[in-house]
Amino acid sequence: MVRDCIVLAHTDDTNKKNILLKCIKNLKDRNFRVIVCDHFFVKEAFELADVFVYNEDNPILTPKDYEKYNLNHITPTKFEKYLVYNPVNTFAAYSIIELIKSGFKYIEQDRAMILNYDWHLTGSIENYFEVDKDAVFFKYADEKSVYTAMFIMTKKLLEKLDEIKSIDDYAKNLVYLEWWFYDFYKDDNIEIFPDIQLKEFNANLYYRANEKQIDFNIYKIDEKTVLVKDGNEFNEYTLHKNYEWIIGDKKMAINLSDDHFKYHIAQRISQ
């Protein structure tokens, strides 16, 4: 039986485009009708897919917006003597909802699988389409969160997302998308399976957290001290907004933004 699948993508480089193309080919080989929703037009993906939706608008939040929404969107990275926190470059939860909304109108069956382009099928999931529920999710981090990289939902229940018309609507419950989806759909006719079932997927082939800048950066330790990380070297200096260093026979000047130290924080690890 032919099944519908909405593939969500953000292919702003060649690697991501290739991952998307492999995803589409994989689904087509498994008898899926593929609806691609992307923020970029990819001719090869258009030629492979059954429907291609180019959604130019990408309503994301960036670190300059985080204070407005009281959003603490940072990721910790542990080293031998320090724990450093970096802001994630974007908060794309509402943008993902907009991608889903742009695609579900093209569903021909009563339900569809929603799939991130960097999740590729490795086994059959037909049994999940046959579950007598309006949505099938998989448990994420706890009992109140679900994977949003892959789920199955009826077209009727997908249309409920039309209630969310702006980032401000989403921000009424400003949590990560996995918790937001659980809150939004928890009272509907859904089934949540243990995440162990995700063995049918080769998942997250493109790890978004790699985008954060941690090779070289400056972090606030306290009101007087910063940590400068340069590759594998760590040095502490007096806290300033502007720095000049002589490296070899060259000068490097760094002028930090006013809010840099709101999101770039370091802690010493006790030995």
pLDDT tens figures, 96-108: 999 999 999 999 9
End-to-end CA distance of the chain: 60
Q: In whole numbers, what is the pLDDT of the chain averaged over residues?
A: 88
pLDDT tens figures, 24-50: 999 999 999 999 999 999 999 999 999
Q: Where are the domains of the chain?
A: 3-209, 215-268
| Domain 3-209 belongs in CATH node 1.10.3720.10 | no
- What tokens does 32 get? 């899926």
Burial class (CB in 10 A: 0-12, 13-18, 19+), 191: middle
pLDDT of residue 197: 63
- H helix and E strand count, the chain: 9, 17
Report yes or no: 27 and 56 within 8 Å, Cβ to Cβ. no
pLDDT > 70: percent of the chain:
94
Report yes or no: 40 and 54 within 8 Å, Cβ to Cβ. yes
Rg (CA), the chain: 22
Name the residue with higher pLDDT: 45 or 56.
Answer: 45
Strands (E), 104-145: 111-116, 120-121, 135-138
Please give the model's pTM, rounded to 2 decimal places: 0.75
**Torsion 49-50-56-58 (CA) sign:** negative
Paired strand residues for 246: 251
